[in-house]
Amino acid sequence: MPETRSHPSRRFIFILPLLLLFPSCASLRSNAFRSTDRLPQASDSVTGAGQLAVSSVRATGLAIVRQPATTIRTGLAVLWHRPREIVAGNIPLEELAPVVQPAEIPGTPEFERLLDEKGLRPPQPGSLSWLVDGKSFFPELDRQIEKARASIDVQVFIYDNDDIAVRYSDKFKAKAEQVPIRVLFDDLGSTFAHGAAPETPGPPGFVPPVDIAFYLRENSHVRVRRSLNPWLVCDHTKLLVFDKQTAIMGGMNIGREYFSEWHDLMVKVEGPVVGSLGREFNRAWRKASIWGDFSIFHYPKAIAVPKPGPRDFPVRLLRTDAARGETDVMDAGLLAIHAARKRIWIENPYFAHDETARALEAAARRGVDVRVILPERGDSTIMDAGNMATARGLIQAGAKVYRYPRMTHMKVMVCDGWASVGSANLDTLSLRINRELNLAFSDATAIRSLESAVFQPDFRASRLVKLEETQAPGGALAETIADQL
Protein backbone atom coordinates (compact mmCIF):
# COMPACT_ATOMS: atom_id res chain seq x y z
CA MET A 1 0.00 0.00 0.00
CA PRO A 2 1.36 3.45 -0.86
CA GLU A 3 2.40 5.63 2.01
CA THR A 4 -0.16 8.12 3.27
CA ARG A 5 0.65 11.79 3.06
CA SER A 6 2.66 13.11 6.00
CA HIS A 7 2.18 16.64 7.34
CA PRO A 8 5.49 17.90 8.80
CA SER A 9 4.12 21.47 8.52
CA ARG A 10 2.73 21.12 12.03
CA ARG A 11 5.81 22.85 13.34
CA PHE A 12 4.98 25.88 11.20
CA ILE A 13 1.60 26.65 12.74
CA PHE A 14 3.15 29.61 14.51
CA ILE A 15 3.65 31.48 11.23
CA LEU A 16 -0.08 32.29 11.15
CA PRO A 17 0.32 35.93 12.26
CA LEU A 18 2.70 36.56 9.36
CA LEU A 19 0.44 34.86 6.85
CA LEU A 20 -2.48 37.05 7.82
CA LEU A 21 -0.47 40.08 6.75
CA PHE A 22 -0.01 38.90 3.16
CA PRO A 23 -2.31 40.51 0.58
CA SER A 24 -4.94 38.02 -0.48
CA CYS A 25 -4.41 38.72 -4.16
CA ALA A 26 -0.72 39.59 -4.27
CA SER A 27 0.94 38.44 -7.47
CA LEU A 28 4.39 37.02 -6.77
CA ARG A 29 5.55 37.14 -10.37
CA SER A 30 9.13 36.02 -10.48
CA ASN A 31 8.96 36.30 -14.27
CA ALA A 32 8.92 40.06 -13.84
CA PHE A 33 12.46 39.94 -12.59
CA ARG A 34 13.62 37.48 -15.23
CA SER A 35 12.62 39.85 -18.02
CA THR A 36 15.54 41.55 -19.73
CA ASP A 37 13.35 44.39 -20.98
CA ARG A 38 11.27 45.03 -17.91
CA LEU A 39 10.61 48.77 -17.99
CA PRO A 40 8.99 48.99 -21.45
CA GLN A 41 6.22 46.61 -20.29
CA ALA A 42 5.76 47.62 -16.65
CA SER A 43 5.52 50.67 -14.43
CA ASP A 44 8.81 51.76 -12.87
CA SER A 45 9.34 50.98 -9.20
CA VAL A 46 8.54 54.48 -7.94
CA THR A 47 5.35 54.78 -9.96
CA GLY A 48 4.33 51.24 -9.09
CA ALA A 49 4.88 51.79 -5.38
CA GLY A 50 2.83 54.98 -5.48
CA GLN A 51 -0.04 53.31 -7.31
CA LEU A 52 0.05 50.38 -4.90
CA ALA A 53 -0.12 52.76 -1.93
CA VAL A 54 -3.17 54.48 -3.43
CA SER A 55 -4.78 51.11 -4.16
CA SER A 56 -4.15 49.96 -0.59
CA VAL A 57 -5.87 53.07 0.74
CA ARG A 58 -8.87 52.36 -1.46
CA ALA A 59 -8.84 48.73 -0.31
CA THR A 60 -9.13 49.75 3.33
CA GLY A 61 -10.56 53.25 3.81
CA LEU A 62 -12.82 53.53 0.76
CA ALA A 63 -14.04 49.93 0.98
CA ILE A 64 -15.26 50.25 4.56
CA VAL A 65 -17.22 53.41 3.67
CA ARG A 66 -18.83 52.06 0.51
CA GLN A 67 -19.07 48.41 1.49
CA PRO A 68 -19.49 48.16 5.28
CA ALA A 69 -21.48 44.91 5.23
CA THR A 70 -19.09 43.28 2.77
CA THR A 71 -16.10 44.43 4.80
CA ILE A 72 -17.47 42.94 8.02
CA ARG A 73 -18.54 39.65 6.44
CA THR A 74 -15.33 39.26 4.47
CA GLY A 75 -13.22 40.07 7.52
CA LEU A 76 -14.96 37.42 9.57
CA ALA A 77 -14.50 34.90 6.76
CA VAL A 78 -10.78 35.69 6.44
CA LEU A 79 -10.22 35.48 10.20
CA TRP A 80 -11.98 32.11 10.25
CA HIS A 81 -10.80 30.41 7.07
CA ARG A 82 -7.10 31.31 7.11
CA PRO A 83 -6.29 29.80 10.53
CA ARG A 84 -8.82 27.04 9.94
CA GLU A 85 -6.94 25.91 6.84
CA ILE A 86 -3.65 25.76 8.73
CA VAL A 87 -5.22 23.75 11.56
CA ALA A 88 -7.06 21.46 9.14
CA GLY A 89 -3.84 20.94 7.20
CA ASN A 90 -2.07 19.73 10.31
CA ILE A 91 -4.95 17.94 12.02
CA PRO A 92 -6.92 16.34 9.17
CA LEU A 93 -10.54 16.55 10.25
CA GLU A 94 -11.60 13.70 7.98
CA GLU A 95 -9.36 11.35 9.97
CA LEU A 96 -11.58 12.09 12.97
CA ALA A 97 -14.77 11.81 10.88
CA PRO A 98 -14.05 9.75 7.72
CA VAL A 99 -15.87 10.82 4.55
CA VAL A 100 -18.43 8.31 3.29
CA GLN A 101 -18.31 7.87 -0.48
CA PRO A 102 -21.57 9.08 -2.05
CA ALA A 103 -23.57 6.50 -3.96
CA GLU A 104 -24.19 8.97 -6.78
CA ILE A 105 -21.59 8.81 -9.59
CA PRO A 106 -20.39 12.12 -11.10
CA GLY A 107 -21.91 12.66 -14.52
CA THR A 108 -25.20 10.97 -13.73
CA PRO A 109 -28.62 12.59 -13.15
CA GLU A 110 -28.45 11.27 -9.59
CA PHE A 111 -25.25 13.24 -8.94
CA GLU A 112 -26.81 16.40 -10.34
CA ARG A 113 -29.77 15.92 -8.00
CA LEU A 114 -27.31 15.49 -5.14
CA LEU A 115 -25.77 18.87 -5.99
CA ASP A 116 -29.29 20.34 -5.99
CA GLU A 117 -29.92 18.86 -2.55
CA LYS A 118 -26.71 20.47 -1.28
CA GLY A 119 -28.19 23.87 -2.09
CA LEU A 120 -26.11 24.72 -5.16
CA ARG A 121 -27.61 26.87 -7.89
CA PRO A 122 -29.81 24.90 -10.28
CA PRO A 123 -28.39 24.32 -13.78
CA GLN A 124 -29.64 26.23 -16.81
CA PRO A 125 -29.48 25.42 -20.52
CA GLY A 126 -26.36 26.53 -22.35
CA SER A 127 -23.68 25.50 -24.81
CA LEU A 128 -19.90 25.71 -24.31
CA SER A 129 -17.01 26.14 -26.73
CA TRP A 130 -13.35 25.92 -25.69
CA LEU A 131 -10.91 28.75 -26.40
CA VAL A 132 -7.47 27.31 -25.67
CA ASP A 133 -4.67 29.86 -25.25
CA GLY A 134 -4.54 33.46 -26.34
CA LYS A 135 -4.41 32.43 -30.00
CA SER A 136 -8.04 31.30 -29.67
CA PHE A 137 -9.40 33.70 -27.07
CA PHE A 138 -8.18 37.04 -28.39
CA PRO A 139 -9.35 36.50 -32.01
CA GLU A 140 -12.75 35.52 -30.59
CA LEU A 141 -12.67 38.66 -28.45
CA ASP A 142 -11.96 40.68 -31.60
CA ARG A 143 -14.94 39.07 -33.36
CA GLN A 144 -17.27 39.72 -30.45
CA ILE A 145 -16.18 43.35 -30.17
CA GLU A 146 -16.73 43.84 -33.88
CA LYS A 147 -20.18 42.22 -33.99
CA ALA A 148 -21.55 43.73 -30.74
CA ARG A 149 -24.57 45.97 -31.35
CA ALA A 150 -26.11 46.56 -27.91
CA SER A 151 -23.51 46.26 -25.11
CA ILE A 152 -20.10 44.98 -24.06
CA ASP A 153 -19.37 44.17 -20.41
CA VAL A 154 -15.84 43.19 -19.36
CA GLN A 155 -14.80 41.98 -15.91
CA VAL A 156 -11.25 40.74 -15.25
CA PHE A 157 -8.99 40.30 -12.27
CA ILE A 158 -6.04 41.93 -14.05
CA TYR A 159 -6.39 44.67 -16.61
CA ASP A 160 -2.69 45.17 -17.30
CA ASN A 161 -0.95 48.28 -18.66
CA ASP A 162 1.32 46.55 -21.19
CA ASP A 163 1.07 46.78 -24.96
CA ILE A 164 -1.74 44.21 -25.26
CA ALA A 165 -3.82 45.97 -22.62
CA VAL A 166 -3.32 49.28 -24.40
CA ARG A 167 -4.26 47.68 -27.73
CA TYR A 168 -7.57 46.44 -26.34
CA SER A 169 -8.18 49.70 -24.51
CA ASP A 170 -7.97 51.43 -27.87
CA LYS A 171 -10.39 48.90 -29.37
CA PHE A 172 -12.87 49.47 -26.55
CA LYS A 173 -12.55 53.23 -26.84
CA ALA A 174 -13.26 53.11 -30.56
CA LYS A 175 -16.19 50.72 -30.18
CA ALA A 176 -17.67 52.80 -27.34
CA GLU A 177 -18.53 55.43 -29.95
CA GLN A 178 -21.20 53.00 -31.13
CA VAL A 179 -21.97 50.64 -28.23
CA PRO A 180 -22.09 51.13 -24.42
CA ILE A 181 -19.02 49.49 -22.86
CA ARG A 182 -18.42 48.82 -19.17
CA VAL A 183 -15.03 47.65 -17.88
CA LEU A 184 -14.59 46.35 -14.34
CA PHE A 185 -11.26 45.17 -12.96
CA ASP A 186 -9.87 44.25 -9.57
CA ASP A 187 -8.04 47.19 -8.03
CA LEU A 188 -5.21 45.44 -6.19
CA GLY A 189 -4.82 42.63 -8.71
CA SER A 190 -4.34 45.06 -11.57
CA THR A 191 -2.09 47.40 -9.59
CA PHE A 192 0.26 44.56 -8.66
CA ALA A 193 0.35 43.45 -12.30
CA HIS A 194 1.31 46.92 -13.53
CA GLY A 195 4.64 46.60 -11.75
CA ALA A 196 5.43 43.13 -13.12
CA ALA A 197 6.51 42.81 -16.73
CA PRO A 198 5.76 39.84 -18.99
CA GLU A 199 8.70 37.96 -20.42
CA THR A 200 8.05 39.28 -23.91
CA PRO A 201 9.90 42.57 -24.54
CA GLY A 202 7.69 45.53 -25.22
CA PRO A 203 7.54 47.37 -28.55
CA PRO A 204 10.32 49.94 -29.06
CA GLY A 205 9.41 53.20 -27.41
CA PHE A 206 6.36 51.80 -25.61
CA VAL A 207 5.62 53.51 -22.28
CA PRO A 208 2.90 51.91 -20.15
CA PRO A 209 0.11 54.16 -18.88
CA VAL A 210 0.47 55.04 -15.21
CA ASP A 211 -3.25 54.57 -14.61
CA ILE A 212 -5.06 52.20 -16.98
CA ALA A 213 -8.47 53.36 -15.73
CA PHE A 214 -7.61 56.94 -16.69
CA TYR A 215 -6.32 55.73 -20.06
CA LEU A 216 -9.58 53.88 -20.74
CA ARG A 217 -11.68 56.91 -19.81
CA GLU A 218 -9.54 59.51 -21.56
CA ASN A 219 -11.38 60.96 -24.57
CA SER A 220 -13.79 58.04 -24.63
CA HIS A 221 -17.23 56.85 -23.59
CA VAL A 222 -15.95 53.70 -21.86
CA ARG A 223 -17.28 53.41 -18.31
CA VAL A 224 -14.68 52.04 -15.89
CA ARG A 225 -14.88 50.86 -12.30
CA ARG A 226 -12.53 49.13 -9.89
CA SER A 227 -13.56 46.25 -7.63
CA LEU A 228 -12.50 47.27 -4.13
CA ASN A 229 -10.58 44.97 -1.82
CA PRO A 230 -11.82 44.94 1.78
CA TRP A 231 -9.30 43.03 3.90
CA LEU A 232 -7.20 42.86 0.71
CA VAL A 233 -9.54 40.21 -0.68
CA CYS A 234 -9.93 40.19 -4.46
CA ASP A 235 -12.50 39.52 -7.14
CA HIS A 236 -10.71 36.92 -9.28
CA THR A 237 -13.60 36.59 -11.78
CA LYS A 238 -13.02 36.77 -15.53
CA LEU A 239 -16.30 37.34 -17.37
CA LEU A 240 -17.13 39.11 -20.63
CA VAL A 241 -20.71 39.49 -21.87
CA PHE A 242 -21.65 40.70 -25.36
CA ASP A 243 -25.15 41.96 -26.22
CA LYS A 244 -26.45 39.87 -23.29
CA GLN A 245 -26.39 36.93 -25.74
CA THR A 246 -22.85 35.54 -25.59
CA ALA A 247 -20.44 35.27 -22.67
CA ILE A 248 -16.78 34.31 -22.37
CA MET A 249 -15.38 33.28 -18.98
CA GLY A 250 -12.47 31.31 -17.56
CA GLY A 251 -8.89 32.02 -16.54
CA MET A 252 -7.55 34.77 -18.83
CA ASN A 253 -7.09 38.46 -18.10
CA ILE A 254 -6.23 41.35 -20.44
CA GLY A 255 -2.45 41.40 -20.84
CA ARG A 256 0.61 40.01 -22.63
CA GLU A 257 0.95 36.83 -20.54
CA TYR A 258 -2.50 35.67 -21.61
CA PHE A 259 -2.10 36.85 -25.20
CA SER A 260 1.00 34.86 -26.13
CA GLU A 261 2.94 33.45 -23.19
CA TRP A 262 0.80 31.30 -20.90
CA HIS A 263 -1.27 28.17 -21.53
CA ASP A 264 -4.83 28.98 -20.49
CA LEU A 265 -8.50 28.38 -21.17
CA MET A 266 -11.58 30.51 -21.76
CA VAL A 267 -15.07 29.18 -22.41
CA LYS A 268 -17.51 30.71 -24.86
CA VAL A 269 -21.03 30.38 -23.45
CA GLU A 270 -24.34 30.71 -25.28
CA GLY A 271 -27.93 29.98 -24.35
CA PRO A 272 -30.20 30.93 -21.42
CA VAL A 273 -27.40 30.58 -18.83
CA VAL A 274 -25.88 33.76 -20.29
CA GLY A 275 -28.75 35.65 -18.65
CA SER A 276 -27.46 34.58 -15.24
CA LEU A 277 -23.90 35.50 -16.21
CA GLY A 278 -25.15 38.94 -17.22
CA ARG A 279 -26.78 39.33 -13.83
CA GLU A 280 -23.52 38.30 -12.16
CA PHE A 281 -21.73 41.11 -13.99
CA ASN A 282 -24.44 43.63 -13.15
CA ARG A 283 -24.28 42.79 -9.46
CA ALA A 284 -20.49 43.24 -9.39
CA TRP A 285 -20.80 46.48 -11.38
CA ARG A 286 -23.37 47.97 -8.99
CA LYS A 287 -21.31 46.97 -5.98
CA ALA A 288 -18.27 48.76 -7.45
CA SER A 289 -20.24 52.02 -7.69
CA ILE A 290 -20.11 54.84 -5.15
CA TRP A 291 -23.16 53.25 -3.52
CA GLY A 292 -21.34 49.98 -2.84
CA ASP A 293 -23.38 47.70 -0.59
CA PHE A 294 -26.24 50.18 -0.63
CA SER A 295 -26.79 49.45 -4.32
CA ILE A 296 -28.91 46.48 -3.20
CA PHE A 297 -31.71 49.00 -2.79
CA HIS A 298 -31.46 49.82 -6.49
CA TYR A 299 -33.73 47.44 -8.35
CA PRO A 300 -31.84 46.24 -11.44
CA LYS A 301 -33.34 46.14 -14.88
CA ALA A 302 -34.46 42.75 -16.10
CA ILE A 303 -32.12 41.00 -18.50
CA ALA A 304 -33.61 39.33 -21.55
CA VAL A 305 -32.76 35.64 -21.41
CA PRO A 306 -31.32 34.21 -24.65
CA LYS A 307 -33.41 31.55 -26.33
CA PRO A 308 -32.40 27.89 -25.95
CA GLY A 309 -30.45 26.35 -28.79
CA PRO A 310 -30.32 22.81 -30.18
CA ARG A 311 -26.88 22.16 -28.65
CA ASP A 312 -27.78 23.34 -25.14
CA PHE A 313 -27.36 21.17 -22.05
CA PRO A 314 -27.59 21.84 -18.29
CA VAL A 315 -24.82 24.18 -17.04
CA ARG A 316 -24.42 25.08 -13.37
CA LEU A 317 -22.82 28.30 -12.06
CA LEU A 318 -20.45 27.81 -9.12
CA ARG A 319 -19.34 30.76 -7.00
CA THR A 320 -16.86 31.45 -4.25
CA ASP A 321 -17.80 34.61 -2.35
CA ALA A 322 -16.78 35.03 1.29
CA ALA A 323 -19.11 37.98 1.82
CA ARG A 324 -22.09 35.83 0.82
CA GLY A 325 -20.87 32.62 2.46
CA GLU A 326 -20.62 30.83 -0.90
CA THR A 327 -18.09 28.01 -1.36
CA ASP A 328 -19.80 26.33 -4.32
CA VAL A 329 -16.60 25.58 -6.27
CA MET A 330 -15.04 23.75 -3.34
CA ASP A 331 -18.23 22.00 -2.22
CA ALA A 332 -19.07 20.64 -5.67
CA GLY A 333 -15.45 19.72 -6.43
CA LEU A 334 -14.90 17.81 -3.19
CA LEU A 335 -18.21 16.00 -3.59
CA ALA A 336 -17.22 14.92 -7.11
CA ILE A 337 -13.76 13.77 -5.96
CA HIS A 338 -15.22 11.74 -3.08
CA ALA A 339 -17.81 10.19 -5.41
CA ALA A 340 -15.54 9.43 -8.39
CA ARG A 341 -15.23 5.77 -9.40
CA LYS A 342 -12.99 5.76 -12.48
CA ARG A 343 -11.00 8.93 -13.08
CA ILE A 344 -10.14 12.38 -11.75
CA TRP A 345 -8.14 14.60 -14.11
CA ILE A 346 -7.05 18.05 -13.00
CA GLU A 347 -5.01 20.87 -14.53
CA ASN A 348 -4.31 23.83 -12.24
CA PRO A 349 -1.38 26.21 -11.68
CA TYR A 350 -1.61 26.50 -7.89
CA PHE A 351 -2.39 23.40 -5.83
CA ALA A 352 -1.98 23.80 -2.09
CA HIS A 353 -5.43 23.03 -0.65
CA ASP A 354 -4.98 20.27 1.91
CA GLU A 355 -8.57 19.02 1.95
CA THR A 356 -8.62 18.60 -1.84
CA ALA A 357 -5.19 16.96 -1.82
CA ARG A 358 -6.22 14.43 0.82
CA ALA A 359 -9.45 13.65 -1.04
CA LEU A 360 -7.40 12.95 -4.19
CA GLU A 361 -4.98 10.77 -2.24
CA ALA A 362 -7.90 8.76 -0.89
CA ALA A 363 -9.31 8.40 -4.41
CA ALA A 364 -5.97 7.18 -5.76
CA ARG A 365 -5.69 4.62 -2.96
CA ARG A 366 -9.12 3.21 -3.83
CA GLY A 367 -8.03 2.71 -7.46
CA VAL A 368 -9.29 5.84 -9.19
CA ASP A 369 -7.17 7.09 -12.11
CA VAL A 370 -5.97 10.36 -10.55
CA ARG A 371 -3.86 12.61 -12.79
CA VAL A 372 -2.81 16.18 -12.05
CA ILE A 373 -1.06 18.57 -14.46
CA LEU A 374 1.01 21.38 -12.91
CA PRO A 375 3.25 23.96 -14.61
CA GLU A 376 6.92 23.14 -15.11
CA ARG A 377 7.71 26.69 -14.08
CA GLY A 378 5.02 28.91 -12.66
CA ASP A 379 5.04 32.61 -11.93
CA SER A 380 6.05 32.18 -8.29
CA THR A 381 8.87 30.22 -6.66
CA ILE A 382 6.80 29.74 -3.51
CA MET A 383 3.83 28.42 -5.49
CA ASP A 384 6.07 26.03 -7.43
CA ALA A 385 7.50 24.67 -4.17
CA GLY A 386 4.00 24.35 -2.75
CA ASN A 387 2.90 22.42 -5.85
CA MET A 388 5.74 19.94 -5.41
CA ALA A 389 4.92 19.44 -1.73
CA THR A 390 1.35 18.60 -2.74
CA ALA A 391 2.59 16.39 -5.58
CA ARG A 392 4.65 14.33 -3.15
CA GLY A 393 1.62 13.19 -1.20
CA LEU A 394 -0.31 12.47 -4.39
CA ILE A 395 2.45 10.36 -5.91
CA GLN A 396 2.91 8.42 -2.68
CA ALA A 397 -0.80 7.60 -2.78
CA GLY A 398 -0.55 6.27 -6.34
CA ALA A 399 -1.63 9.30 -8.37
CA LYS A 400 0.19 10.54 -11.47
CA VAL A 401 1.49 14.10 -11.46
CA TYR A 402 2.66 15.81 -14.66
CA ARG A 403 4.52 19.04 -15.34
CA TYR A 404 3.45 21.02 -18.38
CA PRO A 405 6.50 22.46 -20.22
CA ARG A 406 5.50 26.10 -19.66
CA MET A 407 3.20 28.07 -17.42
CA THR A 408 -0.27 26.54 -17.50
CA HIS A 409 -2.90 28.78 -15.96
CA MET A 410 -5.85 26.46 -16.64
CA LYS A 411 -8.33 25.60 -13.92
CA VAL A 412 -10.04 22.43 -15.14
CA MET A 413 -11.25 19.26 -13.44
CA VAL A 414 -13.04 16.16 -14.74
CA CYS A 415 -14.40 13.56 -12.32
CA ASP A 416 -15.86 10.57 -14.18
CA GLY A 417 -18.52 12.28 -16.33
CA TRP A 418 -18.68 15.64 -14.52
CA ALA A 419 -16.48 18.68 -15.15
CA SER A 420 -15.74 22.08 -13.61
CA VAL A 421 -13.92 24.91 -15.41
CA GLY A 422 -13.39 28.57 -14.60
CA SER A 423 -11.27 30.94 -12.55
CA ALA A 424 -10.71 29.06 -9.28
CA ASN A 425 -7.32 27.75 -8.19
CA LEU A 426 -6.87 24.91 -5.72
CA ASP A 427 -5.97 26.97 -2.67
CA THR A 428 -7.72 28.57 0.29
CA LEU A 429 -8.10 31.92 -1.44
CA SER A 430 -9.99 30.58 -4.44
CA LEU A 431 -12.01 27.99 -2.58
CA ARG A 432 -13.03 30.00 0.47
CA ILE A 433 -12.18 33.72 0.26
CA ASN A 434 -11.77 35.45 -3.13
CA ARG A 435 -14.68 35.85 -5.54
CA GLU A 436 -14.48 33.13 -8.19
CA LEU A 437 -16.69 31.89 -11.01
CA ASN A 438 -16.74 28.35 -12.42
CA LEU A 439 -19.12 26.42 -14.63
CA ALA A 440 -19.97 22.75 -14.05
CA PHE A 441 -21.68 20.29 -16.40
CA SER A 442 -22.24 16.58 -17.09
CA ASP A 443 -22.96 16.51 -20.81
CA ALA A 444 -21.08 13.56 -22.33
CA THR A 445 -20.36 15.28 -25.64
CA ALA A 446 -19.01 18.38 -23.90
CA ILE A 447 -16.87 16.23 -21.61
CA ARG A 448 -15.34 14.43 -24.60
CA SER A 449 -14.64 17.71 -26.37
CA LEU A 450 -12.94 19.04 -23.23
CA GLU A 451 -10.78 15.93 -23.08
CA SER A 452 -9.79 16.40 -26.73
CA ALA A 453 -9.11 20.13 -26.40
CA VAL A 454 -7.25 20.10 -23.08
CA PHE A 455 -6.33 16.87 -21.37
CA GLN A 456 -5.25 14.60 -24.23
CA PRO A 457 -2.82 17.10 -25.80
CA ASP A 458 -1.57 18.28 -22.41
CA PHE A 459 -0.87 14.77 -21.14
CA ARG A 460 1.17 14.17 -24.30
CA ALA A 461 3.05 17.45 -23.91
CA SER A 462 3.79 17.00 -20.21
CA ARG A 463 6.31 14.84 -18.41
CA LEU A 464 5.61 12.55 -15.48
CA VAL A 465 7.00 13.73 -12.15
CA LYS A 466 9.13 11.29 -10.17
CA LEU A 467 8.85 11.06 -6.40
CA GLU A 468 12.46 12.09 -5.85
CA GLU A 469 11.81 15.39 -7.68
CA THR A 470 9.38 16.43 -4.97
CA GLN A 471 11.96 16.31 -2.17
CA ALA A 472 12.91 19.85 -1.23
CA PRO A 473 13.94 21.48 2.06
CA GLY A 474 11.11 23.58 3.39
CA GLY A 475 8.56 22.08 1.03
CA ALA A 476 5.95 21.70 3.75
CA LEU A 477 6.42 25.30 4.81
CA ALA A 478 6.15 26.44 1.18
CA GLU A 479 2.91 24.49 0.78
CA THR A 480 1.48 26.07 3.94
CA ILE A 481 2.39 29.57 2.76
CA ALA A 482 1.23 28.91 -0.82
CA ASP A 483 -2.20 27.92 0.39
CA GLN A 484 -2.60 31.34 1.98
CA LEU A 485 -1.42 33.47 -0.98
pLDDT, tens digit, for every residue of 398-449? 999 999 999 999 999 999 999 999 999 999 999 999 999 999 999 999 999 9
- Which residues partner with 346 through β-bridges? 372, 413
Is the pTM higher than 0.75?
yes
Rounded CA separation 432/439 (Å)? 17
Number of H helices, E strands in the chain: 20, 16
Quick check: 284 and 184 in contact, CB under 8 A?
A: yes
| Calpha distance 427→424 (Å, rounded) | 8
Please give the pLDDT value at position 57: 86
- Three-state DSSP state, 194: helix
Model confidence pLDDT, tens digit, residues 104-134? 999 999 999 999 999 999 999 999 999 999 9
3-state secondary structure of 268: strand
Nearest CA to 82 out of 474, 359, 473, 434 is that of: 434
Query: pLDDT digits over 332-364, tens only?
Result: 999 999 999 999 999 999 998 999 999 999 999
Contact 252, 266 (CB under 8 A): yes
Q: How high is the pLDDT of residue 473? A: 65
Predicted pLDDT at 155? 98
First to last CA, the chain: 34
Domains of the chain are 98-118+314-483 (3.30.870.10), 134-261+272-305 (3.30.870.10)
Would the pLDDT of 26 be above 60? no
Who wins on pLDDT, 99 or 388? 388
* 320 vs 472 pLDDT, higher one: 320
- pLDDT tens digits along 386-409: 899 999 999 999 999 999 999 999
Question: What is the C-alpha separation between 340 and 342, in angstroms, rounded?
Answer: 6
